[in-house]
A and B are shown apart, each in its own frame.
Chain A
Amino acid sequence: GAVVSQHPSRVICKSGTSVKIECRSLDFQATTMFWYRQFPKQSLMLMATSNEGSKATYEQGVEKDKFLINHASLTLSTLTVTSAHPEDSSFYICSASPRGSSSGANVLTFGAGSRLTVL
């Protein structure tokens, strides 16, 4: 089956630094990847849609300059949290659907998530 890998799984950083999280589709190409944020005991909130070779589409209320998304290849999307602050601490999850599919929810595979803690 389709596998999506995220790295790192956990990261701790100091306030003011930037952190990059990688999302890779291991055995398929993904034209579209999605980034979610999840607070403890809460649901997943879609942050942005990452499109290979073009700019990401951000959801309302998500700061584009704070959360930089790059989708440089069909197997890799990165989320960079810039000038991180304690309120950015969260669980970040990516998902992807295979190239050629409709990017429908029925073909989504989620990564294992990345836990960011900003001190």
Chain B
Amino acid sequence: QQQVKQSPQSLIVQKGGISIINCAYENTAFDYFPWYQQFPGKGPALLIAIRPDVSEKKEGRFTISFNKSAKQFSLHIMDSQPGDSATYFCAASKGDGSARQLTFGSGTQLTVLP
């Protein structure tokens, strides 16, 4: 059972454009929603994260929008740059935000054209 559904599978954006990646979850017990960035041949790195008590979190060019009632959250990358080209994973965890309970989405391969 896939508990976190991520779309699109791949995304191509022009430099300067906005990249939007969406995720939906099923388990209402999830209480921590991070986004990870992974470059080829490297491990994932935490990009930004949100808890369900807020509807939006912004860090630089990266924004998470969270809709608790719809059980959806999304990552927006403003002014996308070629260096942002990577695979992005959403994730969710429940309870105390235990890493053991971290469930990843299927990933989105982002390509930003120069």
Task: List residues of chain A with CB under 8 Å of any chain B CB.
Answer: 4, 6, 9, 32, 34, 41-46, 49, 57, 93, 95, 97, 102-108, 110-113, 115
Chain B residues 37-71 with CB under 8 Å of chain A are 41-46, 49
Residues of A within 8 A of B8 (CB): none
Q: Among A57, A108, A113, A115, which residue has its beta carbon within 8 angstroms of that of B99?
A: A108
Residues in B with CB closer than 8 Å to A45 are 104
Residues in A neighbouring B97, C-beta threshold 8 A: 102, 104-106
Q: How many contacting A-B pairs (Cβ < 8 A)?
A: 70
Contact (Cβ within 8 A) B104 A43: yes
Q: In whole angstroms, how far apart are the Cα atoms of A41 and B34 in the complex?
A: 19
Q: What residues of chain B lie closer than 8 Å to A95, measured between beta carbons?
A: 43, 99
B89 interface hit (Cβ, 8 Å):
yes
Annotate B91-114 by CB proximity to A: 1 below 8 A, 0 otherwise.
101001111111011110100000
The CA of A6 and the CA of B42, in the complex, are separated in Å by 10
B49 touches A106 (CB 8 A): yes
